[in-house]
Amino acid sequence: MARYTEALTVERGGFRIKVPESWWEFDVRPQSRDDSIRRMVDDRIRRHPELKPSRSAYVTFLQKAASDAWKSGALYCGCMAESFGGDTPITGSVTVSLIGGRTSSGAPLPADPAAIAGQLAVKEAKKPGDSWRKATTVDIPGVGPAARTQGVEDIPAPDDALNRTVRAVLVQTYIPVPGQEGKVALVAGSSQVLDLADSFFDIFDAITSTFRFAGNGAGRP
């Protein structure tokens, strides 16, 4: 995969985060997102005609990512959709959501990241190719320690009557919001390109490491 050297700072009411300049931020509101995404893709294709054969794949991926982000309460959603000469575009997304974290007993999540990590489910792969998830703590410069899950997971497909799942590379970092008990900023990175799992782990870690609170903490704009 290409290395991105330029970064774009995204600021919202309560936080900021940096993503590669080539990534797209898009409208996640149900009433306008489909048209907005189609226009955005068409504009990109006008500037980069070589992307035209993958138009349908880009639109489908971005619309699904927008839908999933809205359902999760996203404050920000950004995606990459790049073609590196293969038949399938390389896609990935990062969302930032504000959630009310709870323990299994229903109590607010503790503020201590190690305690949060202890509440997160882990899964070991029993054989090669199985899904897996580990829980750790990481240190975010300028913010401090945070709980994280990382793995290759089977994610339930939204609104699927057959209860099917989608396997994806997934990194979720739970960052306690200062002064708001039980509130967590969730930075989630995902990609269905499993062959590039290690590369996406690095990319999502690098993006999450730029997260900073601003003002009085995260809040929906």
Smallest CA-to-CA distance from 25 within 77, 60, 74, 75 is with: 77
Domains and CATH numbers, the chain: 8-213 (3.40.1000.10)
pLDDT at 102: 67
pLDDT at 4: 43
Burial (Cβ within 10 Å: 0-12, 13-18, ≥19) of residue 159? exposed
22 has a pLDDT exceeding 80: yes
Name the more confident of 217 and 38.
38
Q: What is the dihedral of CA 212, 214, 216, 219, to 10 degrees?
A: -80
Backbone angles phi, psi at 122, to 5 degrees: -120, 160
Q: What is the Cα–Cα distance from 43 to 41, expressed in whole angstroms?
A: 5
Angle between helices 55-71 and 33-47 (to 10 degrees): 140
pLDDT at 169: 97
Minimum mean pLDDT range among 45-49, 87-91, 111-115: 87-91
Q: What is the Cα–Cα distance from 78 to 18, expressed in whole angstroms?
A: 10
pLDDT at 182: 77
Grade residue 18 by pLDDT with cuts at 50, 70 and 90.
very high
202 has a pLDDT exceeding 70: yes
131 has a pLDDT exceeding 60: yes
C-beta of residue 3 within 8 angstroms of C-beta of residue 173: no
pLDDT at 5: 44
Query: What mean pLDDT, rounded, does the chain reach?
Result: 84
Minimum mean pLDDT range among 80-89, 90-99, 150-159: 80-89
**Beta strands at 24-25 and 15-20: parallel, antiparallel or unpaired:** unpaired
